[in-house]
Amino acid sequence: MDIKQLHYFVTVADQLSYSKAAQRLHISQPSLSNAIKNLELEVGSPLLERNTRRVELTDAGKILYTKATLLLSQMNMLKKEMEEVKLTGSGELIIGIIESVKHWIPKVIRTYQDRFPDIHFKLLEVLGGKAVKESLRKYHTHLLITNQCIEEEDIESLPLYDEKLVLVLHRDHPLAQKESIHIKDLEQESFIISTEGFQTRADILRAFSLEQATPTIKFEIERFETALTLVRENLGITIIPENYVSEPMDASIVRKTIHSPALERTIYVAYMKNRYLAPAVQSFLEETRRNFA
Amino acid sequence: MDIKQLHYFVTVADQLSYSKAAQRLHISQPSLSNAIKNLELEVGSPLLERNTRRVELTDAGKILYTKATLLLSQMNMLKKEMEEVKLTGSGELIIGIIESVKHWIPKVIRTYQDRFPDIHFKLLEVLGGKAVKESLRKYHTHLLITNQCIEEEDIESLPLYDEKLVLVLHRDHPLAQKESIHIKDLEQESFIISTEGFQTRADILRAFSLEQATPTIKFEIERFETALTLVRENLGITIIPENYVSEPMDASIVRKTIHSPALERTIYVAYMKNRYLAPAVQSFLEETRRNFA
DNA sequence: CACTATTTATAGCATCAAGCTATTAATTTA
DNA sequence: TAAATTAATAGCTTGATGCTATAAATAGTG
């Protein structure tokens, strides 16, 4: 007893005529006769009382009819819903982000929503090395905005834009007055840096080592906001992406540019390479890249 | 997208393994692979993320899974219900009756219900000539208890029992005192008889004509209860089936047996000859006939 | 009453989907 | 590195489902 048979039966019951039903179903009348006969065999009781002139539903037929129409409509619903899914994925777009995207992500989302108004967004903060790859592979996220440079077989990682790293220190700090600052100047200072595993930590350490210097690491933090809090209390200095201090900065802290080619990080958008991307996901990817083209 | 495919998919999703699912479905693993592939093609997006070691549901897969399990369970319900229908018909047994069955039908129903406790009864009073045949043909009734002698190609009509017709008259009526009464004695009396089309009318008129007599018809009625009401008022006399006056009779009326071979009617049980009879219907038929064997 | 039109059933044929086996490819485990 | 496991691919077979042609039944019509 499959959907097709039920569909055939319901159509005959609606038309109360095999030939009309066959026309509507775009099959021949004998095929339809056969199909109904088989259905009756399977059900075990006649469904239609028929002579050459009149077709009527039997008791069993009436019952099957009501049940079958219900089932068929639900089947149609299912098909329609899967059609939707094909376009929009699950209706949910899960994006793994880092903090510094705050200044541009709302804009991208806004233009995107004109095209896919029904999509529901989920923005997850994904920090640290392994978490990034896992979140993609385990279907936690569809897309990932990250500063991790991922080089894996199955993950595509496209650069979006570069972000400068800037020195941040307290207004009252001695270096705050100095015109131009170099890495070497920072060696003796209490330094605040990300914990092991973060790309930014690696970038900063590389910048130091390029100048044959080593920072005096006093604090290890996970979020740059934490670093800023420490700087506000003048407990140390730090180097963080410029986007964290581009906005209305409070007066107690000062930002300084340091000239070093290494003090720059690249922001990537990453996704599973060989996995099907729903058009909704694809579109968001394109929208994002266009934003930085 | 048919039921089978969905069933396959759900099984794979449950097992998270093609080979295990194939075993459970009693098909080969390649066949299953193929089936899922086709389903994915039809849906338009991948449902399962698979490498040789692990099978996981995609977003689309998760959605289809929940919808499909629902649909499948409903399909199973439908099958079970049709199985029920095969055994018990629609769960409703519609019997066309005439009034005089009152004295035995409850007994038959009682023993019958021990075997089919879920059957719901409907007792319709079916009067008159054409109504009897129509009620069978149009699926209004499954069985018919009738005194009509039906001789049609498509209707089987089995005699159940004979019923005597008796004279009924008012206590104060002159004939009430007489010992033995003959048809001839009734000619001048106000006679109450069924309207045209009823078998009993034909029976009575034949009894008269056998004796070369004609009744003086004053009233034509449709229900024998009406006739009794008229007799109670001494407005006339009537001849009706004995079962109508077998029960506690009120004192105002008197019954008299008339010796005439024609004053007897046969009660039949009738049903459509070439139509499928659900076992529940069949059983009731047997139960009824056994009652009078 | 014969003739036409209509409708379902039957018979026989064609084709394609859905199954199978055998094999390959990929990956984990020992 | 070998063995084991698992999914995918290739190629073949078969049966269900479709088709056409035709028969059978019946209602309507001149």
pLDDT in tens, A39-94: 888 888 888 887 767 788 888 888 888 888 899 899 988 888 888 888 777 778 88
What residues in A contact B278, CB-CB < 8 Å? 45, 59-60
Q: Give the residue among B234, B156, B244, B158 at the shortest CA–CA distance from B200.
A: B244
**Residue B156's domain spans which residues?**
92-160+267-291
What residues in B contact A278, CB-CB < 8 Å? 45, 59-60
d(CA B12, CA B4): 12
Residues A256 and A166 in one domain: yes
Please report, for residues A20, A66, A165, the alpha-carbon distance to residue B222 in angstroms, rounded to integers and kept in the order given.
44, 38, 105
In chain A, count of helices (H) and strands (E)?
A: 9, 11
Q: Do A139 and B1 touch (CB under 8 A)?
A: no
Q: Give the residue among A2, A7, A12, A4 at the shortest CA–CA distance from A47.
A: A12
Residues B251 and B276 in one domain: no
Residues A178 and A231 in one domain: yes
| Per-residue model confidence as pLDDT tens digits over B34-89 | 888 888 888 888 888 877 667 788 888 888 888 889 998 889 888 888 887 777 77
Residues A144 and A200 in one domain: no
Residues A155 and A219 in one domain: no
Q: Give the residue among A162, A209, A153 at the shortest CA–CA distance from A186.
A: A209
What pLDDT was estimated at residue B160?
92
Residue B166 or B259, more confident? B166
Cα of A100 to nearest chain B Cα, Å: 28
Crossing angle for the helix pair B279-291 and B105-115, to the nearest 10 degrees: 140
What residues in A contact B72, CB-CB < 8 Å? none
What pLDDT was estimated at residue B168?
93
Lowest mean pLDDT among A62-71, A151-160, A176-185, B160-169: A151-160
Domain boundary among B29, B53, B87: B87
| Per-residue model confidence as pLDDT tens digits over B81-136 | 888 777 777 778 888 888 778 778 888 888 888 888 888 888 888 876 677 777 77
Lowest mean pLDDT among B53-57, B194-198, B261-265: B53-57
Separation in Å: D7 C1' and B142 CA: 56
What pLDDT was estimated at residue B275?
67
Residues A143 and A9 in one domain: no
Domain boundary among A31, A62, A87: A87
By the CB < 8 Å criterion, does B282 face chain A?
A: no
Chain D nucleotides close to protein (CB under 7 A) are 5-11, 17-22, 24-27
Give Dmax (Cα) for chain B: 105
d(CA B183, CA B157): 30
Lowest mean pLDDT among A131-140, A237-246, B1-10, B155-164: A131-140
What residues in B contact A44, CB-CB < 8 Å? 82-83, 86
Residues A178 and A242 in one domain: yes
Domain boundary among B55, B87, B119: B87
Residue of chain B nearest A66, judged by CA positions: B78
What pLDDT was estimated at residue A248?
63
Contact B16, B88 (CB under 8 A): no
What pLDDT was estimated at residue B247?
67
Chain C nucleotides close to protein (CB under 7 A) are 6-12, 18-23, 25-28
What pLDDT was estimated at residue B183?
92
Residues A21 and A136 in one domain: no
- List of E strands, chain B: 48-50, 55-57, 92-97, 120-125, 143-146, 155-170, 190-194, 216-221, 237-241, 253-256, 264-272
Residues A138 and A230 in one domain: no
**What percent of chain B is predicted at pLDDT more than 70?**
96
Q: Is the pLDDT of residue A200 over 90?
A: no
By the CB < 8 Å criterion, does A45 face chain B?
A: yes
What pLDDT was estimated at residue A167?
93
The residue whose two tokens read 């010796």 is B259
- What's phi and psi for A136, nearest 5 deg? -75, -50
Separation in Å: C8 C1' and A23 CA: 14
d(CA A45, CA A51): 17
Q: Is the pLDDT of residue B19 over 90?
A: no
Evaluate the CA torsion angle B266, B269, B272, B274 in order and state its sign. Answer: negative
Evaluate the CA torsion angle B110, B114, B115, B121 in order and state its sign. Answer: positive
Q: Which of A95-104, A149-158, A168-177 has the highest mean pLDDT?
A: A168-177
What pLDDT was estimated at residue A169?
92
Contact A159, A198 (CB under 8 A): no
Q: Is the pLDDT of residue B234 over 70?
A: yes
Burial code of A160-198, b = ≥16 C-beta within 10 A, e = fewer?
beebebbbbbbeebeebeeeebebeebeebbbbbbeeeb
Query: Residue A66's domain is classified under what CATH number?
Result: 1.10.10.10
d(CA A270, CA A144): 5
| Per-residue model confidence as pLDDT tens digits over A251-275 | 889 888 888 888 888 899 988 876 7
d(CA A12, CA A131): 58
Checking each nucleotide's C1' against the CA of B28, the nearest proves to be: C20
Residue of chain A nearest B70, judged by CA positions: A74
Q: Which two tokens stand for residue B255?
A: 């019954």
Counting beta carbons within 10 angstroms of the beta carbon of residue B126, is it exposed (0 to 12), middle (13 to 18) or buried (19 or more)? Answer: buried
By the CB < 8 Å criterion, does B83 face chain A?
A: yes
Q: Which two tokens stand for residue B206?
A: 């034949």
Q: Which of A62, A68, A275 sits opposite B49 (nearest CB)?
A: A275
Q: Is the pLDDT of residue A138 over 70?
A: no
What pLDDT was estimated at residue B213?
92
Over residues B208-227, the mean pLDDT reads 87
Residues B271 and B155 in one domain: yes
Contact B193, B238 (CB under 8 A): yes
Separation in Å: C14 C1' and A7 CA: 25
- Please write down the HEC assignment for all residues of A104-128: CHHHHHHHHHHHCCCCEEEEEECCC
Residues A9 and A153 in one domain: no
Residue of chain B nearest A75, judged by CA positions: B71
* pLDDT range class, residue A129, cuts 50, 70, 90: low
Separation in Å: C13 C1' and B37 CA: 31
Residue nearest to nucleotide D10 (CA to C1'): B30
Please report, for residues A170, A176, A181, the alpha-carbon distance to residue A235 in angstroms, rounded to integers and kept in the order given.
9, 14, 19
For all residues of chain B together, what is the average pLDDT? 85
The residue whose two tokens read 């790293």 is A165
Please report, for residues A53, B25, B115, B242, B280, the alpha-carbon distance to residue B101 in angstroms, rounded to integers and kept in the order given.
36, 55, 22, 11, 20
Residues B123 and B112 in one domain: yes
Q: Which two tokens stand for residue A244?
A: 């964290």
Helix (H) / strand (E) containing B8:
helix B3-15
Query: Residue B256's domain is classified under what CATH number?
Result: 3.40.190.10
* Domain count along chain B: 3
